[in-house]
Amino acid sequence: MHPKLEPLEKIRELKAEKSAFALKWNAVLELTKARLNISVVYSAIAGYLLGADSFSALHLIFLSLGGYLVVGAANGFNQVIERDRDALMKRTANRPLPTGRLSLLEAMVASTLMAFAGMWMLYLINPLTAAFGAFALFMYVLVYTPFKARGPVAVFIGAFPGAIPALLGWVAATNDFDIEPGTLFALQFLWQFAHFWAIGWIADEDYKKAGYSLLPSGKPDKRTAFQILIYTLFVIPVSLLPFFGITGSLQLDWVAAALVLVMGIFFLSKAIRLYQSQEVADARKLMIASIIYLPVVQLIYVLDKFI
């Protein structure tokens, strides 16, 4: 090879290596379900702000990064276990494992490293925060994921780890578990049923290709819509509990309570519409409403504390 060409070849090799690393990095990021994960971190930060009397920037960083890594690990292990089923569904066929962008070993190593790093960060805040993080990871990977193929009971099981984020934030701020984080847990627990069943309604045919049946009646019908309606209805009184002074230091004034009620009526109206129509279009509107509802209500809680 001509000596003057050697630097060009090295540059090409470096670019190829950089490109390969970027592809792997993006695949690992997909493994964590980044957009969903950010919403989880948002809930945890809201819980922290609600619980904190004083703020630790370091603890907020550990909570955000540690929470993201633990949830990312849970999503990664979930995709490892479900890789064959994911390949059968349109909505998941492009994930890193079905497409081969990550090998099984790479996904396992990445998920394990995220789990240890995330748990370590949560432990640095306090052991109770780490304990709740470990509970969520255990429930999601070793209980929810195996039960997902056994029917609608998986949604109930999955609601437990799914309701941890705001609770986790409160515990990170206070190193204590009481009525306040319990109320935040209950709200997020009940909210999930309408959210996930709306997704299940939209993707019912796709889910069935992989052997999943997650709707309470087994299909998108009036019985399923009725259960969605009931759980959405329960969300409203739970969301207003802080207004009645029975949830310790977690409180709402009448203006904030009115706004929370408006959000609840908005959410419920979409569930009522789905019950009336049983159309996929209305299930999609309910899903979007659920995505709007929870972060807005949590924001109202936080703003009410500080304004």
Q: What is the CATH number of the domain that holds 104?
A: 1.10.357.140
Same-domain pairing of 96 and 193: no
Burial of 82 (0-12, 13-18, 19+ CB in 10 A): buried
Q: d(Cα 299, Cα 307) in Å, to the nearest integer? A: 12
Please give the pLDDT value at position 21. Answer: 81
Single-letter amino acid, residue 282: D
Same-domain pairing of 166 and 189: no
Same-domain pairing of 164 and 223: no
Virtual CA dihedral for 166, 172, 175, 179, nearest 10 degrees? -10
Q: Hunting for tokens 């950010």 — which residue is that?
A: 38
Same-domain pairing of 152 and 238: no
Please give the pLDDT value at position 75. Answer: 97
CA-closest candidate to residue 185, choices 74, 43, 45: 43
Same-domain pairing of 171 and 42: yes
Question: What percentage of the chain reaches a pLDDT higher than 90?
Answer: 91
Q: What is the DSSP letter of 212?
A: -
The number of domains in the chain is: 2
For 87, other C-beta atoms within 10 Å of its C-beta total 15
For 213, other C-beta atoms within 10 Å of its C-beta total 18
Q: d(Cα 287, Cα 196) in Å, to the nearest integer? A: 8
Each residue's pLDDT tens digit, 202-215: 999 999 999 999 99
Name the token pair of 222: 């009036």
Please give the pLDDT value at position 264. Answer: 98
For 296, other C-beta atoms within 10 Å of its C-beta total 16
Identify whether 192 is part of a domain: yes
Please give the pLDDT value at position 50. Answer: 97
Q: Is the dihedral of CA 75, 72, 77, 295 positive or negative?
A: negative
Same-domain pairing of 278 and 203: yes
Q: What is the DSSP letter of 221?
A: S
pTM value? 0.91
Please give the pLDDT value at position 251. Answer: 96
CA-closest candidate to residue 31, choices 113, 153, 90: 113
Please spell the DSSP secondary structure of 144-210, one letter per residue. Answer: IHHHGGG-THHHHHHHHHHTHHHHHHHHHHHS--SHHHHHHHHHHHHHHHHHHHHHHHHTHHHHHHT
Single-letter amino acid, residue 281: A
Same-domain pairing of 170 and 36: yes
Same-domain pairing of 190 and 115: no
Sites in the chain below the pLDDT cut of 50:
1
Give the contacts of 239 (CB within 8 A, at least 6 positions apart): 187, 260, 261, 263, 264, 297
Q: Hunting for tokens 């019985």 — which residue is that?
A: 223
Please give the pLDDT value at position 19. Answer: 75
Range of the domain at 76: 30-176
Q: Which of residues 130, 158, 176 is at a domain's end? A: 176
- Largest CA-CA distance found in the chain, in angstroms, rounded: 82
SS3 annotation, 27-55: HHHHHCCHHHHHHHHHHHHHHHHHHCCCC
